[in-house]
Every structure is written in structure tokens, then in C-alpha cells.
Amino acid sequence: MIVATGQPPTGRLDKWLWTVRIFKTRGLAADACREGFVTINSLPAKPSRDARAGETIRVAQGLVVRTLVVRAIPLRRIGAKVVAEFCDDQTPPEEFAKARVQPVQEFLPRAKGLGRPTKRERREVDRLFE
């Protein structure tokens, strides 16, 4: 599964994020890179940038900022059980705890300045949690 060439294996960042199952689609991975939610070694990264073994990648997904270290570059999308061979997840447990404490903010964002929800909007929100 690892690219075998004379040089260290590399691959597009957006493709790597998709193949190790950080994002559901490659398009979502590319959009996250373009919007500045992905950094490599603390520098903003474009989707076409090559990911190399040993680099540290930080990905902001909602409230969670994941820290990943590239171990290897897979040739194609891999199964969830094999992800640990290609990616070392160094995200502290506190990051995942933030998402558990404030799960509603992820699903119910309101644009600034819209004020309180109307009675109808509130009922729709209540239906989601029934």
C-alpha cells in the first residue's frame, strides 16, 4: 500500500486526508485546506501540497483541532482498521471533550446578529433532540 520509489513517498494533502478517513470526501478535504483549517508544521497548507512522512498536520473540524503525524502515504483509501499504520493521532483528549460539552453549537450555528430563535425555530430544534 505504500508508494515504492527511490525517494520518500509523498502525496497530495487533500488526498491523504481523505485516504486516512479524516474527511468523508476529497472535496471536503480540499475545501478545508483552502479555507485555512489545515496546517502543516504550523504553516497554512494548500490542497495540492505534498504530505510527507514525519510531518505534523493540524486539522480544525468544528470545535475539535486534531493533531496528526504522517507515518506513510497510502495508494488508495484505506479501511478504518488500517488507519493507524499511516497516521499517528496525537490529539489530546481535552479536544474531544470540548465537542462533547458543546455538541449543540456544531449542529445549530446562528449567524451573528440574528437574535433569539423564533417560537417556530425553537420547536424545530426541540424536534431534533426528541
- Model confidence pLDDT, tens digit, residues 14-38: 999 999 999 999 999 999 999 999 9
Rounded CA separation 103/106 (Å): 6
Is the confidence at residue 124, as pLDDT, over 90? no
Residues 62-116: pLDDT tens digits? Answer: 888 999 999 999 989 999 999 999 999 999 999 888 877 665 555 566 777 788 8
Burial (CB < 10 A; 0-12, 13-18, 19+), residue 76, is exposed
Residue 35: per-residue pLDDT: 94
User: Whole-model pTM?
Assistant: 0.72
CA distance 17 to 23: 6
The domain limits of the chain are 10-128
CATH of the structural domain 10-128, one choice from 3.50.50.60, 1.10.1060.10, 3.10.290.10, 3.40.50.11890: 3.10.290.10
